[in-house]
Amino acid sequence: MNTILNFMKRNYKIILVVVCISVTLFAFKMNASKANDPEKDKLLLELLTFVIEKGHYSPAKIDDAFSKGIYKDYIEALDPSKRFFLQSDIDEFSKFELQLDDQLLNKDLSFFNLTYERLMKRMDESTKIYKDVLSKPFDFTTDESFNIDYEKAPYPKNVAELNDKWRKQIKLSALSSLIDKQKLEEDKKKNDASYVVKSFDVIEKETRESSQKSLDEYFGFIKDLDRNDWFSVYINSITARFDPHTNYFAAEEKERFDVSISGKLEGIGARLQKKNDLTEISELISGGPAWRGKQLEAGDLIMKVAQGNGEAVDVVGMRLDDVVKKIKGPKGSEVRLTVKKVDGTIKIISIIRDIVEIEETYAKSSIVNKNGLKYGVIYLPKFYIDFENADGRDAGKDIALEVDRLKKAGVNGIVLDVRDDGGGSLSTVVDIAGLFIEQGPIVQIKSAGRKKEVLYDRDKKIEWDGPLVIMVNSFSASASEILAAAIQDYKRGIIIGSKQTYGKGTVQNVIDLNQFVRSSSVGDLGAIKTTTQKFYRINGGSTQLEGVRSDIVMPDRYAYLKMGERDVDNAMPWDKIDQADYQVWNNNTNFNQAITNSKNRISKNPQFQLIEENAKWIDSRSEENVYSLNIDKFKIAQSEIEEKAKKYKPIVDYKNSLTFTSLPYETDAMNKDVTLKEKRERWHEALSKDIYVEEALNVLDDLQSKAVSKKNMPVKIKKDKLAKS
C-alpha cells in the first residue's frame, strides 16, 4: 500500500527544497570503495537523517522515545520468531534502548555491530541445532503442543529452551507435511488399486529429509546476505519511526522499486508482505496468472514453494526477498505454492508464470441489463499516468472515454469500481472527479510550513449527470480515497463497500541519495522514499487513518482483520483543516432513500449474513495459535476446520442472475485477440458471481427510479472554520 501519488511534476517547490540540501552535503566527500566500509555506513546515516529532517512533512523528534521505537522494530526484524536470540542477548542489547538516538546523531555503529555479530553467531549455532533435531525420527504420539504466537512468546532463557523451541517448530512443519504426503498416498491408491502405499516410517523419513533441505536452503540464503543487507534492516528501522511510508532503498531494492512502478511484472502477479515469520498475499494483480487461476486470495499465507515437480521448500521464516526470488521465474515455468487459506485450510496451488501485462492496469467497462434498464460498470485498478509522454495513456483520459462510450450505449447509471485500487497519480483523480461535477475543488494539499493548495476541476462540462455509485473496499487507498471522498462530499454519488477504506492520506517522493555526494567511489547509496505532504477532503477532514466511510456498508470476509493504515505502527495522525467552498449536488432527491433501501436489503440477505458470519469465524481463527504435535489430535483439529469451512462454500459458489457483456468496439477486438477475449470473459464471469456489484446495481435502480432534472440548482455550502492542522 505504499503507493506514491505521482504529484512530483507539479511539486517543484517541494523538490527544490530537497534538492537544495545537496548544497550543504556536497561538503561531504568519501573515498570508500570496500563493500562493507563502516565509513560509508556513517555517511549514509548522516545523509538519511538530514534529508528526512529537511524533506519530511512532519519529522519526528529524535529523542529517547524515537530510540525505543528503533530498538523495538529492529530487534523484531532480526528475529521475528524468537528462535535465534537468548534472553541474555536481549538483556545485553536492552542497555542501548535509550541510546540509539544519540548513536544516530553521532554516527555511532556500536549497537549495530554488536547485534549483527551476535546474530551471525546465533545463526551459525542454529545450523547445528536443526541438523541435530532432524537426525532422528519424530515421535508424533507424544502429547505436546506448540504456540506460534511469536509476538507474545518469551525469548529462550538458555540453550536447552532454544533447542526445544527449534525442535517443536520443525516438528510442527514436518507434521503438516507428513499429513499432506499421507493424503497424497491415499489419493494414488484410490486412483490405482495396484499402487503400493508408502509406509509411515518411509514418509516420516522423507518429511525430515525435505525439512532439512528447506532449512539448508534457508541458511544458504542467509549466508548470501552481507553486512550491507543487515545494515539496510537497521536503516529501515530508523526511517520507519518517521512514518510507515518513509523507507530506505538500497541499490538493489531501488531497482526493484523502479520496475514495480513501471506497470510490467513477471511472475505470478501477486504482491507479498511479511506477517511475522510468514509471507502473506496482500494483493492479486488483475490479469496476472494468480488472478486468472482464482485460487489464491488476499490474506493467504505461503508456507512452501516448489519449482514444477521439484521438492517443496519451506519458506516459513525466510526473508521476503528470498521468497519472492523463489516465486519469480521465467514465463511458462510452473511454481507450486503450499498456502494456508484465511479459513485455516491448507491447499497446494499450481501457477504457470507469465508476464503481467500493463493492459490489465488500464480502465475497462462492461454493460449489464437489469429490470429493463441498462447500466455500465467501469473498473479502475490504479490511477495510472505516463509523465514522460503527454500523449500516453492515463486514467483520466481513459475513464472519460469509457464514460462517453457508455453514454452512447444508452446506459441509465454507472458503477465505478475502485476496489483494491492502491492509488497512483493525483492529477488523474481531479480529471476523473471532474467528469461527474460541473466544476469546483476536488482535493486539498498541505506541505510542511506552507499554505494549503486546492486542486480544482475548472471544466464546467459534466460528462455524466446520471446516477452514480462508487465501489470501495478496505484495500482502496490513497488516490482512490480522494476520489471517493470528493464524490461523497458533493453527494454526487453513493459510496458502497467496506466499512472504511485503507486510510493512507499522505504523499511520498523518492529522493536519490547519490546526487548529494561528489565522489563516485562511494558506490551506489540507494534512495529514500519520504512523506512530503498530506491531502485533505474538500470538507477539511483528512483521509489519513480514517479513510472514507462508506454510505452503505456491506459485510466483508476480512472486515475484522487488521489490515489498514490505522493498524500500522507509527502511522501519521488524522487531522483536519478549513474546508473548501463547494456546492452539493442536488439532482438526486431520493439519495437518502436509496441508502436506506440498500441497508434494508443487505440486513435481510442470507448471503450477506453468511459472509458476516464467515468474517467473524475467520477473525476467531486468527486468535487460535496453539497446535497439537500429536498426529491424531492434529488430524482431528484440521478435519474440524475443513468441516467448518464447508459451511461457507456458498460464498464462493454464489452466482447472480446478471449477464455482463463488452461494448461493441471491444467485442470486435476480442474476436481478433484470444488473450483479450479470455481476460474479458473471466472478468464478466467474476462480475456474475459478485454480490457486491449486484447490490451496487440495485442502488442504481433506486437512484434511477426517482431521478430529478439536472435543472435543479445546487445548494451552496458555507465555509465553516475548522481546526487547522
CA-based nearest residue to 516, from 48, 8, 36, 35:
48
Considering just the CA atoms, what is the radius of gyration of the chain in Å? Answer: 27
In sequence order, what are the residues at sequence separation of 6 or more whose Cβ sits closer than 8 angstroms to the Cβ of residue 456?
A: 430, 439, 440, 441, 442
Task: Check if the beta carbon of residue 3 is closer than 8 Å to that of residue 478.
Answer: yes
**Cα dist. 190→193, 195, 197, 616 in Å?**
6, 9, 10, 37
Q: What does DSSP say about strands 494-497 and 552-553: parallel, antiparallel, or unpaired?
A: parallel
CA-based nearest residue to 77, from 93, 55, 92:
93
Buried b (16+ CB within 10 A) or exposed e, 371-403: eebebbbbbbbbbbbeeeeeeebbbbbbbbebb
The 3-class SS string of 527-594 reads EEEEEEEEEECCCCEECCCCCCECCEECCCCCCCCCCCHHHCCCCCCCCECCCCCCEECCCCCCHHHH
Which residues participate in catalysis according to the annotation? 478, 489, 504
By 3-state DSSP, what share of the chain in percent is helix, strand and coil, each rounded to 5?
45, 15, 40
Phi-psi region of 276 (alpha: psi -120 to 50; beta: other; left: phi over 0): left
Q: What whole-number distance in Å separates Cα of residue 187 and Cα of residue 191?
A: 6
70 alpha-carbon distance from chain centroid: 23
Q: What does DSSP say about strands 453-457 and 552-553: parallel, antiparallel, or unpaired?
A: unpaired
Give residue 56's identity as a one-letter amino acid code.
H
Task: Check if the beta carbon of residue 693 is closer than 8 Å to that of residue 417.
Answer: yes
361 alpha-carbon distance from chain centroid: 16
